[in-house]
Structure 1
Amino acid sequence: MQRKVIQFSTGNVGEHALRALIGRPDLELVGLHAHGADKIGRDAADLCGLSDPTGVIATDDLDALLELGADCVVYTSQAETRPKEAVNELARFLRSGVNVVGTSLVWMVAPQYADAWLRDPLEQACRSGDSTLYINGIDPGFSGDTLVHAALSLSTRASTVTVQEIFDYGSYDDAEFTGASFGFGTAPDHTPIMFAPGVLTSLWGGQVRTLADNLGIELDEVRERHEKWVTPRPIDCTMMAVDSGRVAAVRFGVEGITRGKIVITMEHINRLTDAAAPDWPYPPERRPGVHRVVVDGDPGVEINTHVGLGIDHNQGGVIATAARAVNAIDVACRAPAGILAAHDLRPADHLHGTMW
């Protein structure tokens, strides 16, 4: 049975989701949304680097997409900078009975801890349309709600667990959003949006709290931390050129604390080229990137995940992010109405249709 699917956006993640939707025999691409005037009116294949036209033409007409009778929308449009608009777009599809899987609006990765102004209209839309919403990615997402479960399942007793992304972002061409959000290239006294008070907790705190719930422990506090590394010499990479005296690496984390002890940590160490922050941890074997879980327990467990084998690791991370949504289309279409979190799914629910 083919699922009829709409791809919503053709950016860094959307381009790869679109390629998968066009190629997979279990899915039929019936619609495509694009924001840019340079993309509207072009064939879907043209927008993701494929040669054979699909006959599906990009549009910014939401009403026309709603009339297509799709089973599911893959929503990868940048939502964190325009959350109210994104919620309205998602809610329109959900109210019309179209299921949605997505990679943005990342507060909904842990929906039970999302703010009510985000969660409530989406829950109402799911009820009205008898539809399902599932938001996930690689981090926030997979590392903190799937990989960590696999690691913890191998210990009879765990005392602490650390979830890390250690990535060289130098080859990632996204200075406008990722670079600006992390404060790369800025003066050390500048506060990027990511480090404004409460932002890190809003993005990763829900996963910390959800993991605590799944472990059956009660947290006394969830707190955030961050630090910056300033380069003593210029760094030039795909992301941007960074002058000496400017930020070229960041390290931040959200921690769950019980009885005065840090028991859950979700941490990022992100640098521009491997020359940045040489005293901070690197991935194993000096690889350019890793998503890692380390359990201090009986026995201790470490699982390292490397995406992008044979291709650039940042490209691999973007494709993997798209996969978390595309691979959940079938389960979202079969699930009862409502908002799903990763712990609501079986491990096999992210596998259907991936081998073709």
Structure 2
Amino acid sequence: MSLRVIQFSTGNVGRHSLRSIINRPGLELVGVHASSPDKVGRDAAELCGLDAATGITATDDLQALLALKADCVVYTSQAETRPQAALADITAFLAAGTNVVATSLVWLVYPPHADAWLREPIEAACAAGGTTMFVNGIDPGFSGDLLPLAALSLTERADEILVQEIFDYGTYDDAAFTGASFGFGTTPDTVPALFLPGVLASIWGGPIRLLADRLGVQVEELRERHETWTATETITCTMMTVEPGQVAAARFAVEGIVHGRPAIVMEHVNRLTAQAAPEWPFPPDGRPGVHRVVVRGVPGVEINTHVGDESTDHNMAGVIATAAKAVNAIPAVCAAPPGLTHLSDLPVAQAHGLMP
């Protein structure tokens, strides 16, 4: 019997997860949420670039979607700038008996790290509906949990763990959220939301604590650091146009302090052009992006993961991968015990692929 699934949002990530749900055997699309008036009433296939109509049209009526009593909702609506509204949506589904897989509310990638204001209402809704919620993606998500855990499975002893996303974001059409969050196109004295005290640790501190808990060590402190690089000439890219003196690259990290030293580190290096910040790390082999984990210990292990190929831009591939991470988890989440769950609680084999 197929699992009945709702797609909530049809934006950057949602249109890819919507397509995946429609195409995947074992899943049945029963509802689509869209907040834009120009999307309401349109067929799901049209909203994700497929030709054959599904007969399922988008709605902005939350109550109608709750009444479907679906097995799962894929929640990809941007939530970090509207957490209370997203929390209300998600708890309504959970309490009504619909499981949730999400790529937003990234504070919940490792629920024990999340603040009580967010975690407790979701736990209560899961208990009321007998449901499960799982949040993941590519970063935060895969790069900070599954990838380092794979590397650690090969080590006799781990002394330090470095997780990096090094990406050229120039081809990423998301100036309104990603660009603004990173401070791209602003002056260096402007502090974007991401660099306000505590924000980085609230997002990437979860994966650090997950790894620390699996290794049985205590994180004494989460330290944040960040720096920016300003353009020396005009940069025109898909993300935006950056003038000289404006920020065109950002580097930041959260350091998990163990025994007084940075032992588990999550770092980002993001540019809008390959010419930006030439002194900062680059992906290997001339690649435009990498998710990398480096374990120093016995033996040392390094894993470099690249998404995209000659036909798929690396930033688009990252968005597709984020959507796939959620959709592939649906069966495992629907079969899991009620509550907020995370990678360590679910089967690792959340995999699906159709050969032509």
Q: 1:266-310: per-residue Cα shift (whole Å, max 9, x none)?
A: 000000010111111100101000000001111111000101123
CA distance in 2, matches of 1:123, 1:290: 35
Name the structure 2 match of 1:14. 14
Name the structure 1 match of 2:152. 152
1:298 aligns with 2:298: yes
1:315 aligns with 2:316: yes
CA distance in 1, matches of 2:234, 2:323: 33
Contact 1:165 1:267 in 2 (8 A): yes
Contact 2:332 2:347 in 1 (8 A): no
Contact 1:132 1:336 in 2 (8 A): yes
> Which aligned pairs between 1:190-229 and structure 2 lie closer than 5 A?
190-229=190-229
- Aligned pair count reads 354
Name the structure 2 match of 1:284. 284
CA distance in 2, matches of 1:214, 1:40: 45
1:340 aligns with 2:341: yes
Give RMSD over aligned pairs.
0.8
> Which aligned pairs between 1:169-208 and structure 2 lie closer than 5 A?
169-208=169-208
Q: 1:155-180: per-residue Cα shift (whole Å, max 9, x none)?
A: 11111010000000000000000000
1:331 aligns with 2:332: yes
Q: 1:89-144: per-residue Cα shift (whole Å, max 9, x none)?
A: 00000000000101000001010110000000000000000001001011111111
CA distance in 2, matches of 1:334, 1:208: 27
Unaligned runs of 5+ in 1: none
TM-score (norm 2): 0.98
Name the structure 2 match of 1:113. 113
CA distance in 2, matches of 1:25, 1:48: 17
| 3-state SS, counterpart of residue 12 of structure 1 | coil
CA distance in 2, matches of 1:115, 1:82: 16
CA distance in 2, matches of 1:261, 1:152: 19
207-216 or 170-179: bigger deviation:
207-216
Contact 2:4 2:28 in 1 (8 A): yes
Counterpart of 1:104, as a letter, is: S
Runs of 4 or more, structure 1, over 6 Å off, are: none
Contact 2:69 2:96 in 1 (8 A): no
**Offset of residue 242 of structure 1:** 0.1
> Which aligned pairs between 1:77-88 and structure 2 lie closer than 5 A?
77-88=77-88
CA distance in 1, matches of 2:52, 2:35: 23
**Offset of residue 354 of structure 1:** 3.1
Contact 1:327 1:354 in 2 (8 A): no
Q: 1:190-223: per-residue Cα shift (whole Å, max 9, x none)?
A: 0000000110001111211121111111122111
| 3-state SS, counterpart of residue 207 of structure 2 | helix
Counterpart of 2:354, as a letter, is: M
Counterpart of 1:335, as a letter, is: A
| 3-state SS, counterpart of residue 347 of structure 1 | coil
Q: What is the identity percentage for the equivalent residue pairs of Structure 1 and Structure 2?
A: 64
CA distance in 2, matches of 1:69, 1:195: 40
CA distance in 1, matches of 2:294, 2:314: 21
Contact 2:161 2:296 in 1 (8 A): yes
Contact 1:229 1:277 in 2 (8 A): yes
Name the structure 2 match of 1:254. 254
TM-score (norm 1): 0.98
CA distance in 2, matches of 1:226, 1:260: 20
CA distance in 1, matches of 2:133, 2:219: 28
**Offset of residue 69 of structure 1:** 2.2
CA distance in 2, matches of 1:59, 1:120: 29
**Offset of residue 259 of structure 1:** 2.3
CA distance in 2, matches of 1:327, 1:22: 13
Contact 2:333 2:346 in 1 (8 A): no
CA distance in 2, matches of 1:24, 1:257: 43
Counterpart of 2:297, as a letter, is: G
Name the structure 1 match of 2:63. 63
Name the structure 2 match of 1:355. 354
Counterpart of 1:23, as a letter, is: N
CA distance in 1, matches of 2:333, 2:209: 24
Counterpart of 2:323, as a letter, is: A
**Offset of residue 262 of structure 1:** 1.1
| 3-state SS, counterpart of residue 212 of structure 1 | helix
CA distance in 1, matches of 2:259, 2:31: 52
CA distance in 2, matches of 1:211, 1:35: 37
Counterpart of 2:191, as a letter, is: T
